Amino acid sequence: QVQLVESGGGLVQAGGSLRLSCAASGRTFSDYVMAWFRQAPGKGREFVATISWNTGNTYYADSMKGRFTISRDNAKNTVYIQMNSLKPEDTAVYYCAARTRSPVYGGLWRYSDYSLYAYWGQGTQVTVSS
């Protein structure tokens, strides 16, 4: 059974940085796509970024480009999201998600759809104060 455990959330001032971690376990993830989503109070789940575990290729939501960086550490089975220049509107619960990569979907941009993901972590709260 795949398990995803997020950590690293907290309270930060606007302009600050945080790095979230997602520790994955339960199987080999070389054929998986990993992603970060977020959900602010009263809003739907929003795509942040995705990474192909095997190739390291990445894809970002337009609003995150240049501020957020997704990466993975194969040895630690961990995916990260480095978040810089944080804004109050980045306040949300951040979730890690995983699914197998499928040739049906083609490019990584297709994996921005949260409904494709079978496995989710419990989420970690990020609060950015102004």
Looking at residue 62, what is its pLDDT? Answer: 95
Tokens 């929003």 belong to 46
- DSSP assignment of 19-38, as one string? EEEEEEESS--TTEEEEEEE
> What is the rounded CA–CA span in Å between residue 112 and residue 49?
7
Confidence of residue 36 (pLDDT cuts 50, 70, 90): very high
Tokens 């950015």 belong to 128
Q: Mean pLDDT for the chain?
A: 95
Q: What would the pLDDT profile of 56-98 be if each residue is shown by its tens digit?
A: 999 999 999 999 999 999 899 999 999 999 999 999 999 999 9
